[in-house]
Amino acid sequence: MDADIDAAASATPARILDIAERLAQTWGFNGFSYADIASELGITKASLHYHFATKAILGRALLLRYSEKFDVALTAIEAVRDASLKLRRYASLYEQVLVRDRMCLCGMLAAEYSTLPVAMQVELRRFFDKNEAWVARCLEDGRAGGTLTFEGDAVDAARALTAGLEGAMLLARSYGEPTRFAAVAKRLLRELDLAHSAVRTNRKTVN
Amino acid sequence: MDADIDAAASATPARILDIAERLAQTWGFNGFSYADIASELGITKASLHYHFATKAILGRALLLRYSEKFDVALTAIEAVRDASLKLRRYASLYEQVLVRDRMCLCGMLAAEYSTLPVAMQVELRRFFDKNEAWVARCLEDGRAGGTLTFEGDAVDAARALTAGLEGAMLLARSYGEPTRFAAVAKRLLRELDLAHSAVRTNRKTVN
DNA sequence: GTCTATAACGAGATAGAC
DNA sequence: GTCTATCTCGTTATAGAC
């Protein structure tokens, strides 16, 4: 098939990005070099520069691809009806990254923000903006639909949730204990859950 | 005074750490070099190596001093009676760092964790452990005293709070908007506040 | 305690052959 | 599209004079 041939012919850039992505999620964008990718892929540094002329270009491509993959994942979750379940699926996206001993690429890049090429800084903020908008919409839908509860602006609540997930990831990875993340995620989601909140309300009124 | 003379005589290591600390909080531990410190301090790289033989030693000293300073700050907060206010003061420690365009040193190092010398990894976890214990104790006191409310283990709640604060800091700094942090912090603390929680409970029962 | 000088290495990047 | 070879620069670190 032509598609397969083309895919095979253009496989090298994708494989480069695969390796670079894992290294960036593990050591940070400034923590790996062209030499690291080259040795792992079995080609020379010069060949890497043919595909990605500069590291800044590679980094931007990394972010764009990651953002697209994230879009696909979010779209898949869109099919879910229940907003509460949607959020649990969303949180599990983070967890899947963590159990592979990686940080969220964008959380990692956020830490390195001030050292990144401007083009990467722009793309990183774009990623967070999209992410935040998706979560905010999900929260708003859930509140309107009567499955979620939170106060104030949905965007603020979305920021609190993503901040909690990113931070929990950061800390859990330092301990090599993904369960630390899971516990925090569960707690964050529980607070948004109307069903659980109602239980808590009842308990209070009984007291 | 002898103390002053001694302080002046041993001022160089402290000034080195001051600069290194700011650079580490801005660019990361791997984001600055001895040359950066040397040029800013007006001495040579060789002189730096006299005070801190290797960068790993410098990094560990950085962490130890930061941890001590944090202890002092926490002890100062201890004087506060109200647990809710105590937590607000705690959160404002983070905010004070952020408004100076810095990341929490330990949040930054957590991102770089896998690239750090083992001695720094150990010290970093020690810092988080102490931090977590302090917050957990504060939460427990507040719950017992009837000013705070949360479910389950205090340690879990403490981890959720610190994760939220660290993550919010990370994201706020990428946008150069400290208000993003403040909004998330306010939300996190509000959820722990019994007074506010009671209001919410009342509102629910009215509905 | 600070200096000059230098070692030893790794980084990103380029030229030009195949 | 990949290679060899090389350049230039920045990095941590050391030797030895002052």
List the pLDDT tens digit at each of the 207 positions of chain A. 444 555 555 699 999 999 999 999 999 999 999 999 999 999 999 999 999 999 999 999 999 999 999 999 999 999 999 999 999 999 999 999 999 999 999 999 999 999 999 999 999 999 999 999 999 999 999 999 999 999 999 999 999 999 999 999 999 999 999 999 999 999 999 999 998 876 555 444 333
B198–A201 C-beta distance less than 8 A: no
Tell me which nucleotides of strand D come within 7 A of a protein CB: 1-5, 10-16
Cβ atoms < 10 Å from Cβ of B21: 17
Pick B188's closest partner by Cβ from A121, A124, A160: A160
* Closest residue on chain A to B108 (Cα): A111
First to last CA, chain B: 70
Nearest alpha-carbon partner for B107 in B189, B37, B30, B165 = B165
Q: In the structure, how far is the CA atom of residue A118 from the C1' atom of nucleotide D2, in angstroms? A: 31
Q: Taking each helix axis from N to C terminus, what angle separates A83-98 and A55-78, rounded to the nearest 10 degrees?
A: 140
From A179, A175, A99, select the one nearest B127 (Cα to Cα): A175
- Residue A35 CA distance to nucleotide C9 C1' (Å): 13
Contact A171 B166 (CB under 8 A): yes
Q: Give the CA B20 to C1' D11 distance in Å.
A: 16
Q: Name the residue among B152, B157, B183 with its Cβ closest to that of A159.
A: B183
Distance CA A173, CA A100 (A): 10
Nucleotide closest to A58 measured between CA and C1': C12
Q: Point out the residue among B107, B111, B160 whose CB comes nearest to the CB of A164.
A: B160
- How far is it, in rounded angstroms, from Cα B107 to Cα B98? 12
CA dist B64 to B8, B58, B160, Å?
A: 21, 10, 24
